[in-house]
Amino acid sequence: MSAVTISFGLQKGGVSKTTTSTLSAFILARQGYRVLVCDMDSQGNASQFLTNKSPYDFQGRTILEACKERNPEPYIVGITENLDLLPAEDLLSTFSRWLFDEYKPELQRTGQVDPNALLLVLKQTLDAVREKYDFIILDLPPNLGEQTLNGMAASDYCVVMAQSEPFAYDALQRYLETLEHVQSRVNPNTKLAGILTTLLDARTALGNFIRDRIAEEYEDLVFSTVIRRKSRVVEFSFEGISDKTKADREALDMYESFVKELTKRVNKG
C-alpha cells in the first residue's frame, strides 16, 4: 500500500508546525509505521530536530536536489528503523527561482504545457518513493509561497495549525482559501484533515476566547486534541526526542492523542 501524505502548515511563523509534524512522525514510526519526513522549510528546523545536526551539514543533499531530479532516493537520511528524512537548508529558498527560471523554460522547450506542472513538482518527486512508506509528513514554511503550494498539492490531507492568538486566527482563513484554490485548480484529491489548536495558554482569557471562536466557527473540522504549552517540548529541540521520563511521556501524551485522531481521519490505523 502506498503512503498517505500529510502536510502541516500555516503561513504564520512559530505556531508549532515543525514540532507537531516531527513529533507526530516520531510517534507514528514508534507505532511501527514506515514514515518519511519531508522538510519543505529552508530554515531546516525539522531536519535539525530529527538529526541534532546543523541543517548546513545537508547542503547539496536536500529536498531541493530531489525535486530538481524528481528523485528523492539519493537524499533520504535514515533516522531510526522506521523513520526517514528528506532534509532542507537555506538554499531551499531558491526553489521558486529554480521553478520559474529553469524548470518552466525546460517544460516549454519540451512542449509540456500543463499549467499546473510547477505546482506538482513535489508531488511527482514524492510519488517516486510512495510505495516504501505508510506516511509521508510534510513540514511547510511560514508563508504561502511555492513550497507551501507544492506541499498542499502533494498532500492527501492537510493539517492546518491554529494558534489561539489573533494574528494566527486571520491567517487560518486565508490558508483555507488557498487550500480550496489548490483543490479546485491543481489536485482535487487534496483534503483538509482538520484544524489543530496549538500553543494554548489556558491561563489567558484571550487564548481561551480564540480557541472557543475557532471551535464554534469550524465545528467538526477542529481536532478535539489541543496542543498545550509544555516546557519539556521545547527541551526536545535541544536534547532530541525522548520518552524515558514521566515528563517526557506527559509531553508526548497530547501528541499521541492527536495522532490517534489523525490516523482515524485519514483512515489508517
Ligand X SMILES: Nc1ncnc2c1ncn2[C@@H]1O[C@H](COP(=O)(O)OP(=O)(O)OP(=O)(O)O)[C@@H](O)[C@H]1O
Please give the residue ranges that form the binding site for Mg ion (CB under 5 A): 17-18, 45
Out of Mg ion, ligand X, none, what residue 233 binds, judged by CB under 5 to 8 A for its kind, is ligand X
Which 8-state DSSP code applies to residue 2? Answer: P
Q: Which amino acid is at 120?
A: L
The reply on whether position 17 binds ligand X by CB under 6 A is yes
The reply on whether position 19 binds ligand X by CB under 6 A is yes
**Which CB, 47 or 125, lies closer to Mg ion?**
47
**Which CB, 192 or 199, lies closer to ligand X?**
199
Residue 168 to residue 196: CA distance in whole angstroms: 12
The reply on whether position 183 binds ligand X by CB under 6 A is no
Place of cell 494566527: 168
Stretch that binds ligand X, among 27-35, 68-76, 173-181, 223-231 (CB under 6 A): 223-231
Shortest approach of ligand X to residue 233 CB, angstroms? 4
Burial class (CB in 10 A: 0-12, 13-18, 19+), 177: exposed
Residue 253 to residue 236: CA distance in whole angstroms: 14
Residue 190 to residue 157: CA distance in whole angstroms: 6
Shortest approach of ligand X to residue 19 CB, angstroms? 3
The reply on whether position 47 binds ligand X by CB under 6 A is no
Beta-carbon neighbour count of residue 218 at 10 Å?
A: 18
Kindly list the residues in this chain that would bind ligand X in the complex (CB under 6 A): 13-19, 41, 43, 45, 142, 199, 227, 229-230, 233-234, 237
